[in-house]
């Protein structure tokens, strides 16, 4: 109710016994000692559930939809890409952040009523080079650093060898690996972009267990050894599940792969 012309709060113009007890209110009381509006404010405020206070990092946090809007992509696409990057994983209901997601600042939250988990993101995630690179996959205009020698080594051999499931790969050993994955029923990708600030590709990726396979052949030059050592370090720094295969494994994949995959909880 507005103040009177003197700038003072209005007073009750009805008998005091019928006037709302809330200070400054001039309405007739309706329930207990208050008008209907102030009765709700006084008595229902204490019984209403108090929204939980969610802790956040100092950085601005963005919902998935807000982040998708910033990147000009559908929310479903963003969630799929974040899952492919290994930052989140789908639970029975909603999305849960992973160790890798926490490392880039993802915050796990839970809806107070439904209990559905969801994830918020720091605004700094917009500066992570792996996110737009995975979204746009612009191979023709690479603007991020490439691991020294990565592109050169891959381009030394053309991908002209066709596997049973139709992939074109670069080496006969990769044909053997791809055919083994196909015959055992593993969904897999070839030369998949990795979720690292430095542009890097694995030989094979298995969504089951988020496992990366690298075939490191018999090349023994100093440049190749340095390249594989640098790449192994990047896998370790970013805590990616890595299996390395050599020529010694090629004749015994049926025996080796179940053991190698089991360390990441993947059963053949």
pLDDT digits (tens, 9 = 90+) for 87-146: 998 877 789 998 888 988 999 998 888 888 899 999 899 988 888 888 875 334 444 555
Higher model confidence: residue 263 or residue 13?
Answer: 263
**Which domains are assigned to the chain?**
1-47 (no CATH), 61-131 (no CATH), 145-262 (3.40.960.10)
Residue 79 has pLDDT above 50, yes or no: yes
Q: How confident is the model at residue 72 (pLDDT cuts 50, 70, 90)?
A: confident
pLDDT value of residue 32 = 65
Residue 178 has pLDDT above 80, yes or no: yes
pLDDT digits (tens, 9 = 90+) for 199-224: 788 999 998 999 999 998 877 778 78
Residue 42 has pLDDT above 70, yes or no: no
Higher model confidence: residue 55 or residue 93?
Answer: 93
Taking the C-alpha atoms of 57, 58, 62 and 64 in order, what is their torsion angle to the nearest 10 degrees?
Answer: -20
**Averaged over 216-235, what is the pLDDT?**
84
Residue 261 has pLDDT above 90, yes or no: yes
pLDDT value of residue 58 = 44
Q: How confident is the model at residue 256 (pLDDT cuts 50, 70, 90)?
A: very high
Q: What is the pTM of this model?
A: 0.56
Residue 6 has pLDDT above 50, yes or no: no
Higher model confidence: residue 57 or residue 197?
Answer: 197
pLDDT value of residue 20 = 77
**Averaged over 178-189, what is the pLDDT?**
94
Higher model confidence: residue 27 or residue 7?
Answer: 27
* 3-state SS record for the chain: CCCCCCCCCCCCCCCHHHECCCCCCCCECCECCECHHHHHHHHHCCCCCCCCCCCCCCCCEECHHHHHHHHCCCHHHHHHHHHHCCCEEECCCCEEECHHHHHCCCEEEECCCCCCEEEEEEHHHHHCCHHHHHHHCCHHHCCCCECCCHHHHHHCCCCCEECCCCCEECCHHHHHHHHHHHHCCCCCEECCECCCCCECECCEEECCCCEEEEECCCCCCHHHHHHHHHHHHHHHHCCCEEEEECHHHHCCHHHHHHHHHHCCCCCC
Higher model confidence: residue 36 or residue 103?
Answer: 103
Most confidently modeled range among 4-13, 32-41, 253-262: 253-262
Residue 33 has pLDDT above 90, yes or no: no
């Amino acid at each position: 109710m507005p103040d009177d012309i003197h700038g003072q709060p209005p007073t009750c113009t009805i008998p005091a016994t019928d006037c709302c007890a809330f200070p400054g209110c001039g309405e007739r009381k309706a329930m207990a000692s208050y008008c209907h509006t102030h009765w709700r404010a006084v008595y229902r405020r204490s019984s209403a559930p108090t929204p939980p206070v969610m802790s956040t990092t100092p950085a601005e946090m963005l919902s998935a939809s807000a982040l998708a809007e910033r990147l000009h992509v559908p929310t479903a696409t963003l969630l799929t890409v974040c899952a492919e990057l290994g930052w989140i994983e789908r639970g029975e209901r909603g999305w849960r952040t992973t160790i890798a997601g926490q490392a880039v600042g993802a915050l796990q939250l839970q809806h107070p009523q439904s209990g559905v988990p969801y994830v918020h993101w720091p605004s700094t995630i917009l500066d992570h080079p792996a996110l737009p690179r995975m979204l746009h996959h612009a191979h023709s205009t690479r603007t991020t650093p490439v691991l020294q020698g990565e592109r050169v080594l891959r381009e030394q051999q053309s991908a002209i060898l066709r596997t049973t499931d139709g992939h074109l790969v670069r080496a006969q050993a990769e044909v053997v690996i791809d055919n083994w994955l196909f015959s055992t029923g593993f969904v897999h990708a070839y030369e998949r972009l990795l979720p690292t600030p430095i542009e890097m590709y694995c030989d094979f990726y298995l969504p089951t267990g988020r496992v990366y396979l690298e075939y490191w052949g018999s090349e023994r030059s100093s440049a190749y050894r340095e390249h594989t050592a640098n790449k192994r370090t990047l896998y370790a720094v970013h805590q990616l599940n890595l299996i390395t295969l050599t020529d010694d494994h090629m004749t015994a994949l049926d025996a080796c792969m179940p053991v190698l995959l089991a360390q990441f909880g993947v059963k053949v």
